[in-house]
Amino acid sequence: MQIWKCAAAIAACALGAAAAQAQDLRIGANLPMSGPNAEYGELFSNAAKLAIEHINADKLLSKKLDLVIEDSQAQPQQGVVAMNKLVNVEKVPFVLSAFTAVSKAVAPVGDKAHVVTVNGGAIGPDLAELGDYFWNVIPLVNLEVQAMAPYLVKERGFKKIALVYVDDPAGEAIRKELETHLPKNGGALVAAIQVPRASQQFSGVAAKVREASPDLVYIASFGAQQAQIAKQLRDNGVAQQLASYSAYSAPTAAQLPESKGALYTTQVINWSGDPLSQRVAKDWQAKTGKEPSAYIANYYNAVLIFAKLAQALEKSGQPITGENLLKQRKAMSSFDVVGGKLTFLPNGTVSVPLQVNETDGGAGKPVKTNIVVAP
Amino acid sequence: MLLLQLLINGLQLGAIYALTAVGFALIFGSTRIFHVAHGAAFTLAAYLFWWSFTKLHWHWLAALVLAAAVVIAFGVAMERWIYRPIQRHEGAFFTVFIAAFGMQIVVQNAVGTVFGRGFETVTVALSRAVPVATGLYVAPVAAVAIGTAIVCFIALAWFLTRTHIGTALRALSDNPDLVRVFGLDPARLAQVAFALGSALVVPGAALTAATQGINPNIGAHIMLISLAATIVGGIGSLTGAACGGLLLGLAESLALWKLDAQWSEGVTFVILFVFIIFRPAGFLGRPLGAK
């Protein structure tokens, strides 16, 4: 009899927990939590968790919001496996994504299942063409290069530029954009050196860069590799100005001593501009002891946009599905988020003002701000 | 001048590869254990050196001693607590490989959790190249890498040829049963092989932390190179492994002279395939079938 009572109690607890879990609203995150780009996964997921903490504390939704994280390892194949799990097993209506190659691989899975996939970190221009269910809350790299090229050539006088780029869709996209926009502004791409994603040795690349005698070296990589490139360029006699794109705002690259003075583009985020931005900046600093970057705003915003859409759906009595989230986004279009107002373009991308930053050992300081580029 | 620059870079890289490859070859040659976790030892050594030197501001020698002590303990523990129980239960070669591979992943994740998953580097003046001729930059660390490799190999050769334990280790690789007949304990000798082989990753790991920078995944790459160097040099030959490591470092660097940078690592494996097809015993290994 005692055994039956215990079993009944355990079953009741288990059912209770399952019921509570079933009542929670869950969204997914398909981010690199291991491997050489795990630094990004940690950063992005912590930003999403902070948003969830705020949303739950403010009771924006009728149910508690939870985040289910799967590890993409920043690899397309692993990303698809993770996406399938989030879509088919976890049954989430909304997934956070990152990295161009991974995002391109997982988008068809989300599109087929009518699950919204939101990118806050990848920058390949192809990401604008992945269908209705793929949204970007980060400006894509074509805009970043278009903002950077005239600044480097016309305002700073760096006319001869060498590019060291990773052989993935993001690196290729940056090469194409520089090839197009440098000549338009009176500059030239004097060398374009492609490196494998897994490569960690760049002393020979430095020799090739020196041979090209550029005014500036543009690094188009991400994760640990971009920091390794910067360090090894400097160690091997490349003293020229360094430049990059938003991936360079990752602390390991931006705060590397060898990176000091490097220029990189990001969207404009005024952390002291409105109460929401102030709250996020304050809480982020309290949790991590670090200044927030644009990535923090992007992944926070992605989750906040979900909450605002879900809130609207709850008010109108509609279920929170990918299809309804898409309809609601098209109906709302603009959102008050961290950094100000964010407006989606019809293709699911955003157009926001950009800025050029200079690394200073900390969060970087803007050297040219409010650059508006037409998408 | 580019060729000369790439040659110097290749020698520096090759010296690091040679040190790690000889460690792997010593363990594999003596014990026939496919110690894939050798890459994990490299990761551990690199992070411990970086942490004690950069964060704790220890003297570089003390940092090296700490790294060596921990990786020797790691290697010996792997032999004692992972490989030996598997082999005692007649575990297949594949079981040992999976166990070692699993440990590599465990260490990689543990290092990421403890030290962070980002990029770390040891900033020392020695890694900064200075111009020695027009278009030719050489960092003092290149001489340190090559000198360290030479000293380590001379010391290892002396140990293996002039000491009883060294002679026994060489005998172990030839005939473990004969070692037992002479009253020596193969298990203890295996532990010596693991200790020595693991210690050999330390200089390479410290030099890598200073020249390339490190992240928790660095061991997987170095393991691949060590394996390739062991095969190219000839399984069972430490001199072959050292030459293989040097050859692969040179090839990786010199490939940039005429090929695009994305081919630099590919060249390593082209060399490996060439050896597997045309000279599977490696250039200093015993011909297949030889006793």
User: For all residues of chain A together, what is the average pLDDT?
Assistant: 91
Residue of higher predicted confidence among B53 and B181: B53
Residue A7 has pLDDT above 80, yes or no: no
Q: Which of A161, A202, A9, A42 is nearest to B109 (CA)?
A: A42
Residue B103 has pLDDT above 90, yes or no: yes
Q: Which of A38, A204, A227 sits opposite B9 (nearest CB)?
A: A204
Residue-level pLDDT at A8? 55
Q: Which of A35, A193, A196 sits opposite B217 (nearest CB)?
A: A35
Residue-level pLDDT at A362? 77
- Kindly identify which residue of chain B lies nearest to residue A34, measuring between CA atoms: B109
- Using CA atoms, how far apart are residues A183 and A176, in angstroms rounded to an integer? 12
Inspect the interface and report whether the beta carbons of A236 and B116 lie closer than 8 Å: no
Least-confidence region, from A10-24, A171-185, A222-236, B222-236: A10-24
Beta strands in chain A (DSSP E): 25-31, 65-71, 94-97, 116-119, 134-136, 160-166, 188-195, 216-220, 241-244, 263-267, 334-337, 340-343, 354-358, 365-371
Residue-level pLDDT at A9? 54
- Grade residue B180 by pLDDT with cuts at 50, 70 and 90: confident
- Kindly identify which residue of chain A lies nearest to residue B106, measuring between CA atoms: A34
Residue-level pLDDT at A39? 84
Give CA angle at B74 (B73, B80), nearest 5°: 85
Residue of higher predicted confidence among A157 and B276: A157
DSSP B214: B
**Across A357-373, average pLDDT:** 88
Amino acid letter, A121: G
Residue of higher predicted confidence among B265 and A144: A144
ipTM: 0.84
- Grade residue A34 by pLDDT with cuts at 50, 70 and 90: confident
Restricting to A residues 196-255, those with a Cβ less than 8 Å away from any Cβ of B are 196, 198-205, 207-208, 210-211, 223-224, 227-228, 231-232, 234-237, 250-253
Residue B62 has pLDDT above 80, yes or no: yes
- Grade residue A3 by pLDDT with cuts at 50, 70 and 90: low
Residue-level pLDDT at B118? 81
Q: What is the distance of C-alpha A371 from the center of its chain?
A: 20
Helix (H, G, I), strand (E, B) or coil at A263: strand
- Using CA atoms, how far apart are residues B104 and B36, in angstroms rounded to an integer? 7
- Mutate which: A200, A208, A255, vs B, most B CBs within 10 A: A200
- Grade residue B181 by pLDDT with cuts at 50, 70 and 90: confident
Restricting to B residues 211-250, those with a Cβ less than 8 Å away from any Cβ of A are 211-213, 215-218, 221
Please count the CA atoms within 13 angstroms of the CA of B203 that sit on its side-chain side. Answer: 27
Q: How many CB atoms lie within 10 A of CB B288?
A: 8
Instruction: Give me the percent of chain B exceeding a pLDDT of 90.
Output: 64
Using alpha carbons, list the distances in angstroms from residue A304 to A30, B35, B108: 17, 48, 34
Q: For residue A167, which residues of chain B lie inside 8 Å, CB to CB? A: 262
pLDDT tens digits for range A95-136: 999 999 999 999 999 999 999 999 999 999 899 999 999 999
Residue-level pLDDT at A321? 97
pLDDT tens digits for range A74-90: 999 999 999 999 999 99
pLDDT tens digits for range A204-220: 999 999 999 999 999 99
Q: For the whole prediction, is pTM greater than 0.95?
A: no
- Grade residue B53 by pLDDT with cuts at 50, 70 and 90: very high
Residue B150 has pLDDT above 70, yes or no: yes
Q: Which of B75, B66, B72 is nearest to B37 (CA)?
A: B75
- Using CA atoms, how far apart are residues A197 and B262, in angstroms rounded to an integer? 9
| Residue whose entry in the numeric block shows the structure tokens 């060596």 | B68
Residue-level pLDDT at A57? 97
Residue-level pLDDT at B289? 46
**Across B157-170, average pLDDT:** 91
Ramachandran category for residue A161: left, alpha or beta (phi over 0 → left; psi -120 to 50 → alpha): beta
Q: Which of B37, B85, B19, B4 is nearest to B253 (CA)?
A: B4
- Grade residue A4 by pLDDT with cuts at 50, 70 and 90: low
pLDDT tens digits for range A260-296: 999 999 998 888 889 999 999 999 999 999 889 889 9
pLDDT tens digits for range A316-343: 999 999 999 999 999 998 899 998 888 9
- Using CA atoms, how far apart are residues B137 and B134, in angstroms rounded to an integer? 8
Beta strands in B34-141 (DSSP E): 130-133, 136-138
- Using CA atoms, how far apart are residues B180 and A237, in angstroms rounded to an integer? 56
Least-confidence region, from A61-70, A92-101, B121-130: B121-130
**Across B161-180, average pLDDT:** 86
Residue-level pLDDT at A35? 80
Residue B126 has pLDDT above 60, yes or no: yes
Residue B291 has pLDDT above 50, yes or no: no
Least-confidence region, from A61-65, A87-91, B33-37: B33-37
How close A141 gets to chain B, by Cα (Å)? 23
Residue-level pLDDT at B170? 86
- Using CA atoms, how far apart are residues A282 and A272, in angstroms rounded to an integer? 10
User: For all residues of chain B together, what is the average pLDDT?
Assistant: 90
